[in-house]
Amino acid sequence: MADIVKSFKRINFFRGFLATEDDLNEGENYHVMKRALHNRVMHAPGVVPHFLKGMRVCQRGRGDLSVEVLEGYAIDGQGRDLYLKEPVIKTIDPLEFKLPQTVYVVASYVEEPTDFVTYKENPQFKGHKRITEGVRIDVIAREPDINFEVELARIFLEKDVKAIRDALDPLNPRANEIDLRFVPKAGVAGSFLPPNMKAELLSLFSLQASLFAHLGHVLKVSAALDVLHAIITVQMMLLSGYVDFRNLFDLMQMIVELQKFMILQIDREFASLAKAKEFATFKWHIESIKFDRK
C-alpha cells in the first residue's frame, strides 16, 4: 500500500453492467487505497492524542509484569487506521528477552476475513461477507518501524525486574518504568480548543506579556525577556490555530521553566525586587506548579 499507485480507477456503473465479485471488491479497495494515500501524505503517522484514551500504556492496578493499553486511534506510516475500541492487557515475559535491555510496546494493523456464510440452497456460493480490521499489540526488542507498527511505549527492563510501573517522573523514567516520551503523535489539522478558552488564554498571555516586558525592558531583568518572547510565540500559535490540549501543557511548562530561571536571576542580582511581597507571592505560585502528564 505504501507503493505509489500509477492511477486510480473508480467503478462506473451503467444499465446492463454485469458486476462480479471482483468488480465490487476493486470498488471497495479503491476507497481503502484513496484513504490510505490521504493519511500518508496529509497526516504525520502516530497516535492521535486525546481521542478516546489516546492508546495510553499504563501499569496494572496491582503492579506486575503486565501493561494495559487503553482505547485509542493511530495511523501507521502506510496510512492504515489502527482503531483500538477496548483496552488490551499485554504480559511481558522476561524470558523472551536478553535482559537488561529496552523493549517496545507497539500497535500494528491486522485484518482478517470474517462472517463466513454458505448458502443452503446452493452450497457452491460461500465466502466471507466482511473483512474485519483490527489492531495487534506486541512487545518487541527492536526499534519500531513506523511503516509497520506504531510505538506506544518503551521500557528499559532490568535483569531482576519484578513489576512494571508508571514513571514517577514522565520526563525522566527510570528502569522498569513506562517511558512515553517517544510515542509519535499523528498530525491533526486545526485546533480543538474551545473558542472561549482560546479567548481566555489570549487575555491571560496579553497581561503576562505586559508584566514581563516591564521587568525586561524597564527593570533590566534580562531573563524576563526570554519569558516575554516565549509568551509572544505562544500567542502567535494560538492565533494561528496550532494550540490545543495536545500541546498546551507542554507550552505552559516551557514558560514556567523560563520563569523559574528569571526568579533565580532576581534572587541573585535584584535584592530590592526580591524582597517585595508581590515577588514572594509570585515565586511561591510558580514553584508550586506541578505538571501531571497523566
- Is residue 135, in this structure, part of any structural domain at all? yes
Contacts of 259 (CB under 8 A, 6+ apart): 227, 286
Whether the predicted model's global pTM rises above the 0.85 cut: no
> 122 and 83 in one domain?
yes
Which of 178, 203, 231 is the last residue before a domain boundary?
178
- Is residue 187, in this structure, part of any structural domain at all? no
Which pLDDT value is given to residue 178?
97
> 165 and 218 in one domain?
no
In the sheet with 81-84, reading across from the earlier edge strand, the strands are 46-47, 72-75, 81-84
- Is residue 4, in this structure, part of any structural domain at all? no
From its phi and psi, is residue 10 left (phi > 0), alpha (psi between -120 and 50) or beta?
A: beta
Range of the domain at 26: 21-178
Q: Domains in the chain: how many in total?
A: 2
- Is residue 190, in this structure, part of any structural domain at all? no
Among 278, 291, 280, CA closest to 211: 278
Which pLDDT value is given to residue 294?
56
> 236 and 107 in one domain?
no
> 199 and 145 in one domain?
no
Which pLDDT value is given to residue 63?
73
> 208 and 168 in one domain?
no
> 201 and 157 in one domain?
no
292 class by beta-carbon count within 10 Å (0-12 exposed, 13-18 middle, 19+ buried): exposed
Separation between Cα atoms, residue 228 and residue 205, nearest integer Å: 9
Which of 178, 210, 242 is the last residue before a domain boundary?
178
- Is residue 163, in this structure, part of any structural domain at all? yes
230 class by beta-carbon count within 10 Å (0-12 exposed, 13-18 middle, 19+ buried): buried
- Is residue 14, in this structure, part of any structural domain at all? no
Instruction: Record the cell numbers describing residue 141, joined without a space.
Output: 526488542
Q: For each of the chain's 294 residues, which pLDDT tens digit applies?
A: 446 677 889 999 999 999 999 999 999 999 999 999 999 988 889 999 889 999 999 998 777 999 999 999 999 999 999 999 999 999 999 999 999 999 999 999 999 999 999 988 888 889 999 999 999 999 999 999 999 999 999 999 999 999 999 999 998 999 999 999 999 999 877 788 899 999 999 999 999 999 999 999 999 999 999 999 999 999 999 999 899 888 899 999 999 999 999 999 999 999 999 999 999 999 999 999 987 655
Q: Where are the beta strands (DSSP E) in 158-220?
A: 165-166, 177-178
Q: Is the peptide bond before 94 cis (omega within 30 degrees of 0)?
A: no
Site of grid cell 463466513: 116
- Is residue 3, in this structure, part of any structural domain at all? no
> 212 and 171 in one domain?
no
> 162 and 32 in one domain?
yes
> 162 and 64 in one domain?
yes
Separation between Cα atoms, residue 245 and residue 198, nearest integer Å: 11
> 221 and 141 in one domain?
no
Separation between Cα atoms, residue 157 and residue 94, nearest integer Å: 8
> 202 and 133 in one domain?
no
> 214 and 173 in one domain?
no
